[in-house]
Amino acid sequence: MEFVPRFLQAPSSNFFLFGPRGTGKSSWLRRAFPEALRVDFLDEETWRTYQARPEHLAEVVRASPLDATIIVDEVQRVPAVLSTVHLLIEEAPTRRFILTGSSARKLKRSGVNLLGGRAVLRTAHPFVAAELGESFRLDEALQFGLVPLVVGSGAPAEVLRGYVALYLREEVQTEGLVRNLGGFARFLEAVAFSHGGVLNVANVARECQVERKVVEGYLGVLEDLLLAWLVPVFSRQARRVLSSHPKFFLFDAGVYRSLRRTGPLDRPGDVEGPALEGLVAQHLRAWCAYRGGDDTLSFWRTASGNEVDFVVYGPLTFCAIEVKNTTRVRPEDLRGLRAFREDYPTSTQILLYRGTESLDLDGIRCLPCERFLRALRPDTELAVDPVLHQAE
C-alpha cells in the first residue's frame, strides 16, 4: 500500500520507540530519518555479531559523524548493547540514538542500563481511522484490525492468521519466554474471551486447566510483548464502592478476532460487541500516546453494576465514553453515563453506537462510532465542540 503519514512525532532527543511487530516502526523511521545509520538485530548475521561483542557498536558509531543519528532496531534482542549506547551518548551528546523494540521483557529481566533517563519513551500503535482517511472502513477494521502489516497486505485474512503464529514462533518460543508453548497457545484462546471485559484470572486459569500463577505469568508475557494491556478503574474522588479488577484488551481488534474461537452457541453480538469496544479502546489509547501529555485512559465500574466503558482524563479532558454495538440508542444504554454524571457533573458524556444520526439525549451526546473515530486526532480535544462538530 502507499505510505500512510502517521501521527507519531519524533522527539528532538534520544528515544526508545516500542510497539508490537508490524505496527510500522521501521517504515516510519526510514521516512523520518533516511540518512540514519541503522543496526537491525532482526538480521541474523548482525544479531550474532553483536550478541558476541556488543561493544562492536562503538567501533561502528565512532566511524560516523559526531552528529549522526543511529537507529538500533529490536534492541531487546541484544540488551547488553545499551551500556555501549550510554557510553557513546556520554562521549558525544550531539549523537542521536533511536532504539526500537517489540518487547520490553528482556530489557526488564536483564536489568540492563536503560540510559539513565537520557532517552524518552514513545510508542507506535496500529493505524487509527484519521490516518487512513477515506480508506478507513469500520466493518473491515472490526474484521481484520488495523495493524499496518495486515492492512497493507493483499490478503489481510491470511496475513492475520499468520501474525499470532509469528509471535509464538519468533518471540515466545525462540526467546524461551514460556516453558510450555502448547499451554500458552491454549491460554491465548481462553484469554481472548476476556477481551473488553473485566479480567478474572481465576476463571482463565480454570479454563486452561493450569495454576493461577501460571496464568499471571502468561499475562505478564502478553503485556511485555505489547500484545495486550490492562485498563485500570477510574477512582479519583470516588463517591461509591468501585470494582477493583482491571479490564483486559488485546492490542488490536483483528488479533482478537483471530484468537477468539466461535461456535454454534455464539451469537453475532458476542464477538462483534467486544471487537467494537476494543477498536475504540485502541484508538483512545493511541490518542493519549500521540498527544505526548498526561491524558490517561481508564474505565468506571461500581459494585452495584453501573459501568462506563472508558474515562479519558487529562489537563483539558474529562470525558466518559460508552460504546454500544447497536443501531438504536435505548434509555437503558445511558444508565452508566447518567450515574457517572451524578458523581462527576463537570465531565462530558458521549455514547458511541452503530447508527447514522448524531443525537443529544438528556445532555448526552450520542455519535455514530465511525464518524467519531474518523475525527479523532491527537491535535484536537475530545470533549470540545470542534471535535464533536467534525464527528457530525
Residues 141 and 118 in one domain: no
The model's pTM: 0.92
Between CA 169 and CA 185 the distance in angstroms is 11
pLDDT of residue 8: 94
Residue 335 located in a structural domain: yes
pLDDT of residue 336: 96
Residues 87 and 200 in one domain: no
pLDDT of residue 254: 94
Residue 115 located in a structural domain: yes
Between CA 376 and CA 290 the distance in angstroms is 11
Residues 197 and 287 in one domain: yes
Between CA 149 and CA 258 the distance in angstroms is 15
In contact, 180 and 247? CB cutoff 8 Å: no
Residues 256 and 354 in one domain: yes
Sign of CA dihedral 152, 154, 160, 165: negative
Task: Give the residues of the chain that fall short of pLDDT 70.
Answer: 1, 105-106, 108-114, 116-117, 168-169, 173-177, 383-392
Sequence-ordered strand ranges (E) for the chain: 15-18, 37-40, 69-73, 96-101, 120-123, 197-198, 228-231, 247-250, 296-301, 307-313, 318-323, 348-353, 359-361, 364-368
Cα 142 to Cα 145, 211, 271, 274, 331: the distances in Å are: 6, 33, 10, 10, 26
Residue 214 located in a structural domain: yes
Residues 243 and 336 in one domain: yes
Residue 338 located in a structural domain: yes
Q: What is the DSSP letter of 233?
A: B
pLDDT of residue 152: 83
Residues 159 and 27 in one domain: no
Query: CATH number, domain at 113?
Result: 3.40.50.300
Residues 189 and 161 in one domain: yes
Residue 3 located in a structural domain: no
Residues 277 and 372 in one domain: yes
The domain tally of the chain equals: 2
Residues 362 and 229 in one domain: yes
Residues 211 and 246 in one domain: yes
Domain end, chosen from 123, 150, 169, is at 123
Look-up of cell digits 461500581:
302
pLDDT of residue 174: 65
pLDDT of residue 386: 37
pLDDT of residue 132: 95
Q: Grid coordinates representing 91?
A: 562521549
Domain end, chosen from 84, 99, 123, is at 123
In contact, 288 and 331? CB cutoff 8 Å: no
Q: Exposed, middle or buried, 94 (CB in 10 Å: 0-12/13-18/19+)?
A: exposed
Cα 62 to Cα 15, 79, 134, 222, 261: the distances in Å are: 20, 20, 46, 37, 52
Residue 343 located in a structural domain: yes
Residue 325 located in a structural domain: yes
- Residue-wise pLDDT for 366-382, tens only, equals 999 999 999 999 988 87
Listed residue (311, 322, 325) closest to 274, CA to CA: 325
* Secondary element (H or E) of residue 108: helix 105-110
pLDDT of residue 113: 56
Domain end, chosen from 95, 123, 151, is at 123
Residue 8 located in a structural domain: no
Residues 247 and 310 in one domain: yes
Q: Exposed, middle or buried, 358 (CB in 10 Å: 0-12/13-18/19+)?
A: middle
Show the domain range for 176. Answer: 129-391
Residues 263 and 133 in one domain: yes
pLDDT of residue 264: 77
